[in-house]
């Protein structure tokens, strides 16, 4: 009887032990799953951007102070310094002259040249958008924030064709501007220009959008400007053009002036273009654009008539880069290009934009007219050369 009770006790004890072991293993397994689920994932975004939460226009405001308060901390002053080497008069290199005045006479002299501009912090990671011409050839770039902090900036990349550049600074708690999600800006919308004109300190001016899509101004290779009557002066270049809610809609770039001061005709690069340049520069170090290697001019009624065209459209080829994509495709000076990938070419600016949108290495179909008749060729575009190198 005692043996039976002992066996029963052992069986019960073993059963309870196995059950306890099972529960321990189960909860440890579940705990591992929970830890795996809450484990932070690696970031996949190249750059963090602060997006607006507005999805539609709002009612007019009585004051723009809240907009300025939000946007101004992200607008910076950019001071550049470059070393200028001045060559002396060739006469100073004459041996007879050096005999009397010494060998040090006539040697090139170096001097420091400083200039001021503006920029916009577009990411809490410290990325700054500004104009290429603001930092061109700079040996040192110092960025001054509105809160009084200064930082040395490094150039991530530039795009002379749009006059944009991307800088980077390393600081803690960097303020970033909010990017507008509303791309359908309209003539008459209120805008504010924030920058550092004439080096007097951060300044805000107001106005309206006077026009959109301005091009053929001869300022940049790729032009799609917002025109505004908000006062933009020297030093404002690279600063922010914001809407009445302090959201970035453009990068101030140029003014049309006969006196050098503001005459109510300023131009800003729209956010849509600036953002594309920003992301490509951060990802690739440069902007990827297709290039055909041709010099072109707009058609006129006389040229169109000579080619038997009933309407004026397309472009005429003036020159072809040797061994370039167009040259390899058989395009010659004097040819008229009428279509790119079956899209009718309106003018030189239109063709430039159509080709630049094609990724280097991709092919495009080109239709046109020559003295012998029509032609259709296929060209493989290459990376557009840097304008500064050309």
DSSP 366: E
Whole-number Å distance between alpha carbons of 247 and 57: 12
Strand residues in 6-153 grouped as ranges (E): 50-51, 75-86, 109-121, 127-131, 140-144, 150-152
CB 271 within 8 A of CB 180: yes
Concerning whether 133 is annotated as a catalytic residue, the answer is yes
How many other C-beta atoms lie within 10 A of the C-beta of residue 304?
18
Catalytic residue among 115, 123, 237, 356: 237
Contacts of 93 (CB under 8 A, 6+ apart): 106
Catalytic residue among 123, 132, 133, 244: 133
Contacts of 83 (CB under 8 A, 6+ apart): 110, 111, 112, 113, 139
Exposure on the CB side of residue 262, measured as CA atoms within 13 A: 22
Angle CA 148–142–154, to nearest 5: 125
CA quadruple 91, 95, 101, 105: dihedral sign: positive
Catalytic residue among 161, 163, 189, 229: 163
75 - beta bridge partners? Answer: 120
Concerning whether 362 is annotated as a catalytic residue, the answer is no
Let me know if 57 is exposed, middle or buried by CB neighbors in 10 A (0-12, 13-18, 19+).
Answer: middle
Closest alpha carbon to 349 in 378, 379, 315, 323: 315
Q: Assign 177 to helix, strand or coil.
A: coil
Concerning whether 237 is annotated as a catalytic residue, the answer is yes
**So which residues are the catalytic ones?**
133, 163, 237
């Amino acid at each position: 009887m005692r043996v039976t009770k002992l066996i029963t006790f052992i069986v019960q004890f073993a059963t309870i032990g196995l059950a306890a072991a099972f529960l321990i293993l189960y909860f440890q397994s579940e705990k591992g799953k929970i830890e795996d689920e809450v484990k932070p994932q690696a970031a996949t975004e190249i750059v963090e951007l602060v997006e607006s939460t507005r999805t539609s226009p709002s009612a007019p405001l009585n004051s723009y102070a809240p907009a300025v308060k939000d946007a101004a901390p992200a607008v910076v002053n950019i001071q550049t310094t470059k070393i200028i080497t001045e060559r002396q008069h060739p006469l100073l290199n004459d041996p007879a002259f050096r005999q009397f005045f010494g060998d040090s006479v006539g040697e090139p002299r170096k001097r420091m040249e400083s200039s001021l501009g503006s920029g916009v912090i577009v990411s809490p990671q410290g990325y700054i958008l500004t104009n290429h011409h603001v930092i061109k050839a700079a040996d040192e770039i110092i960025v001054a924030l509105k809160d009084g902090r200064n930082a040395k900036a490094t150039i991530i990349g530039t795009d002379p064709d749009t006059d944009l550049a991307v800088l980077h600074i390393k600081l803690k708690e960097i303020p970033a501007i909010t990017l507008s999600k509303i791309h359908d800006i309209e003539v008459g919308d209120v805008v504010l220009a924030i920058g550092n004109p004439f080096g007097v300190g951060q300044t805000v001016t107001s106005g309206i959008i006077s026009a959109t899509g301005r091009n053929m101004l001869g300022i940049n290779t790729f032009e799609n400007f917002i025109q505004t009557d908000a006062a933009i002066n020297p030093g404002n270049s690279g600063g922010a053009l914001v809407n009445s809610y302090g959201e970035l809609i453009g990068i101030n770039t140029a003014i049309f002036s006969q006196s050098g001061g503001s005459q109510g005709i300023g131009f800003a690069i729209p956010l849509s273009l600036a953002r594309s340049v920003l992301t490509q520069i951060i990802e690739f170090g440069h902007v990827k654009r297709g290039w055909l290697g041709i010099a072109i001019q707009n058609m006129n009624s006389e040229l169109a008539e000579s080619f038997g065209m009933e309407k004026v459209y397309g472009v005429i080829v003036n020159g072809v880069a040797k061994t370039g994509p167009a040259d390899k495709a058989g395009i010659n000076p004097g040819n008229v290009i009428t279509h790119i990938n079956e899209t009718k070419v309106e003018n030189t600016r239109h063709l430039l934009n159509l080709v630049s949108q094609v990724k280097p290495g991709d092919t495009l179909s080109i239709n046109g007219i020559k003295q012998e008749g029509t032609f259709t060729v296929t060209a493989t575009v290459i990376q557009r050369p840097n304008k500064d190198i050309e």
